[in-house]
Amino acid sequence: MEHEEIEKEVARKSVLVYLPISIGLAVLFFLASTFTGNYPLVARIGGMVWVGLLSLIVSMPIVISRVKKQLHGKSQ
Which pLDDT band holds residue 71 (cuts at 50, 70, 90)? confident
Count the domains in the chain. Answer: 1
- Give the Cβ contact number of residue 53 at 10 Å: 12
> Rounded to two decimals, what is the model's pTM?
0.85
What is the pLDDT, as a whole number, of residue 75?
61
- pLDDT tens figures, 1-12: 688 888 999 999
Which pLDDT band holds residue 38 (cuts at 50, 70, 90)? very high
Nearest in space to 32 (alpha carbons), one of 42, 54, 47: 47
- What does each C-alpha distance from 18 to 7, 60, 63, 75 come to in angstroms? 16, 6, 6, 23
- What does each C-alpha distance from 8 to 3, 32, 70, 76 come to in angstroms? 9, 36, 14, 17
Instruction: Residue 9: give the domain boundaries.
Output: 3-75
